[in-house]
Structure 1
Amino acid sequence: MSNPDFYHTTVLLNETVDGLDIKENGTYVDATFGGGGHSRLILSKLGPEGRLIAFDQDEDAWRNKPDDDRLIPVTENFKYLRRFLRLHGINEVDGILADLGVSSFQFDTAERGFSLRFDGPLDMRMDKRSELTAAEILRTYTEPQLHKLFEQYGEVRNSKQLAKHIVDNRKAMKITTIAALKAMLAPVMRGGNPNKYLAQVFQALRIEVNDELGVLKDFLQQSAQSLKPGGRLSVISFHSLEDRIVKQYIKRGVWDDNEESKQVLRPINNKPIEPTEQELKANNRARSARLRIAERL
């Protein structure tokens, strides 16, 4: 018996699904099944001929799978979107949804290593079959690699000093747990809010472990290739790095400012949709969520 509440409180539920403009007998993709909240709402709007292909590389997510013949589960990262659509004989779809946040269940499971609130191994893998962990990054990356990582992905103010401090101290002090990392970072933390500083460091490590920004770029390009003309794309991001990539691709169809624009999507909302006050009261984790909706030209 699946229980969506054990896993995740779905963010911007109605706004995201409404943005897809569901057709009863259409074919849709939920690229980030997670707790299944978005998928359940899409299924409730589909008729008997409708189909939903749902992706999630995290095996824990599938404890939540609804018993519905219209749902095709894919236990892989959404960077393989085109490959698995073709595998199921699907060339084009009517809509694609992606919620880029870490699920509440992942944050609340200490051994996954995503949360500052618990001690646990420095893991942070969305897909437990992959080899690279946060602990491995801290153990093996060079000082310039760590500097770049914390500066670009965490926007950590003293990223250069932080990288040097880790490299200087990691032989004497193993950094394999969240508690060990916190203890090591204490002397170099900047700003008045230690939790904010640690959150930036954790974000940088998680993005690197899961290649989140590279995967997002692949996904956006494959989404544009997979949507029918008039098909919709709904993407929820949770930090400025993701939102910038989504906004730029919808607007220009390329990443590099020097490249000629190849726009294939049209923004439905010029400004991102944010959670209402009512949603924020019910779920504080939604506070940084930003939804962008686009239509295939």
Structure 2
Amino acid sequence: MKHYPVMLPEVLTSLSMVDGETCVDGTFGNGGYCAAILDSAACSVVGLDRDPNVLPRAQELAAEWGDRFRLIQTPFSKMDEVGLASVDAVVLDIGVSSMQLDQAERGFSFMREGPLDMRMEQGGGPSARDAVMHLSVAELTRVFQVYGEEKRARHVANCIVSAREAEDIVTTADLAAILEKALGRRGKTHPATRVFQALRIFVNDELGELYQGLCAAERILAPGGRLVVVTFHSLEDRIVKSFFRRRAGEVSGGSRYAPEVVNLGPAASFTLPKRSVTKPSDLEVRENARSRSAKLRLAVRTEAGVFEADDRLLPNVLSLSELEARL
């Protein structure tokens, strides 16, 4: 399957790289952004990814671009801990990549049967199977409500717990069958979509990683540095929007899952060239269905100091460490 870097023209315009600058691509994936950024100017790019499966593609880029490109194997939430400082741009494409969805053995997709895993770093931490086999009805309900925005979350949780009492839930097909029976088929959206999304976000702590990644980018960006973030669903965009507006000195309104948070610092650390989101073109949506829910936000670093991280922007849900302690 061909790889489509989502909103590539808009990302390149927002980054506005010039010769001699350095950009951090915090979500390397299949290298689509990296290759285009390297081609856009005589700049350097540092790719970050916690998935070891990206190494062959990174080696191809290194062979093509030489010392203008390098990969650091790390979560983007730790970009401020790997020797990067005073960079000119950071770009984050949040969420699971099409490359990971296409690999049945990763267990991300209900469209391909494989082990119920979903971990970005396979072998590390609890898997999706651990979650569905060990969380209580109340805990599963909360995960599905918040991370999947599933309206029938409690009903789904009850069905999963009943099913696991009869037989272990081992594969993506096992769980998809339970969900299809519990929710039935309505319209074009598969009934497993929201629950699979919720489990993936939970087992990878994606929202926590996103918030910590925004804070880390703030620490390494030079004054005038651009932070470009592409999100794919409302939970991600809500966190980015709140972070940007708070860091720009504005009050961030609360949501049903997170309280109102006010700016804690005396001076803004970012300015917002455009307060609204940028969405993909109609042409891109027609050619690449994955882009239809994408939203791009841009912030520019000021010379002000760095705020302390404050997890009140995150929804209050069971932590991954609480599940890990039971295994």
TM-score normalised to structure 2 length: 0.82
Alpha-carbon distance in structure 2 between the residues aligned to 1:17 and 1:58? 24
Question: Per-residue displacement from partner, 1:142-166 (whole Å, max 9, x unpaired)?
Answer: 2221111000000111111222222
Partner of 2:237: 243
Alpha-carbon distance in structure 2 between the residues aligned to 1:128 and 1:272? 33
Alpha-carbon distance in structure 2 between the residues aligned to 1:158 and 1:173? 23
Is the contact between residue 179 and residue 191 of structure 2 (CA under 8 Å) also seen in structure 1? no
**CA shift at 1:188, angstroms?**
2.2
Partner of 1:3: none
The alignment status of 1:286 with 2:291, answered yes or no, reads: yes
Alpha-carbon distance in structure 2 between the residues aligned to 1:191 and 1:180? 16
Alpha-carbon distance in structure 2 between the residues aligned to 1:192 and 1:184? 15
SS in 1 for 2:166: coil
- AA at the equivalent of 2:79: L
Change (3 A) 1:106 1:152: same
- AA at the equivalent of 1:54: G
Alpha-carbon distance in structure 1 between the residues aligned to 2:19 and 2:228? 18
Alpha-carbon distance in structure 2 between the residues aligned to 1:98 and 1:106? 17
Change (3 A) 1:284 1:44: same
SS in 1 for 2:245: helix
Let me know the Cα RMSD of the aligned residues. Answer: 1.9
- AA at the equivalent of 1:12: M
The alignment status of 1:22 with 2:22, answered yes or no, reads: no
2:276 alignment partner, one of 262, 271, 275:
271
Matches within 5 A, 1:192-203: 192-193=186-187, 195-203=189-197
SS in 2 for 1:241: helix
Gaps of 5+ in 1: 1-5
**CA shift at 1:197, angstroms?**
2.9
Matched-pair identity in %:
36
TM-score normalised to structure 1 length: 0.90
Is the contact between residue 94 and residue 232 of structure 2 (CA under 8 Å) also seen in structure 1? yes
Change (3 A) 1:258 1:10: closer
Is the contact between residue 34 and residue 56 of structure 1 (CA under 8 Å) also seen in structure 2? yes
Partner of 2:50: 57
SS in 1 for 2:88: strand
Alpha-carbon distance in structure 2 between the residues aligned to 1:120 and 1:162? 21
**CA shift at 1:232, angstroms?**
0.2
The alignment status of 1:180 with 2:155, answered yes or no, reads: no
Partner of 1:76: 74
1:43 alignment partner, one of 38, 60, 64:
38
Partner of 1:104: 98
Count of residue pairs brought into register by the alignment: 286
**CA shift at 1:223, angstroms?**
0.9
The alignment status of 1:143 with 2:141, answered yes or no, reads: no
Partner of 1:115: 109
Alpha-carbon distance in structure 2 between the residues aligned to 1:78 and 1:31? 5
**CA shift at 1:12, angstroms?**
0.7
Gaps of 5+ in 2: 253-257, 303-327
SS in 2 for 1:270: coil
- AA at the equivalent of 2:21: G
Question: Per-residue displacement from partner, 1:155-178 (whole Å, max 9, x unpaired)?
Answer: 111111222222233121211111
SS in 2 for 1:131: coil
1:33 alignment partner, one of 3, 19, 28:
28
Alpha-carbon distance in structure 1 between the residues aligned to 2:188 and 2:155? 16
1:13 alignment partner, one of 8, 12, 34:
8
116-125 or 234-243: which moved more?
116-125
**CA shift at 1:140, angstroms?**
0.9
- AA at the equivalent of 2:170: T
SS in 1 for 2:71: strand
Alpha-carbon distance in structure 2 between the residues aligned to 1:233 and 1:129? 31
**CA shift at 1:217, angstroms?**
0.5
Alpha-carbon distance in structure 2 between the residues aligned to 1:190 and 1:280? 28
**CA shift at 1:194, angstroms?**
7.3
Is the contact between residue 108 and residue 196 of structure 2 (CA under 8 Å) also seen in structure 1? yes
Change (3 A) 1:244 1:235: same
SS in 2 for 1:195: coil
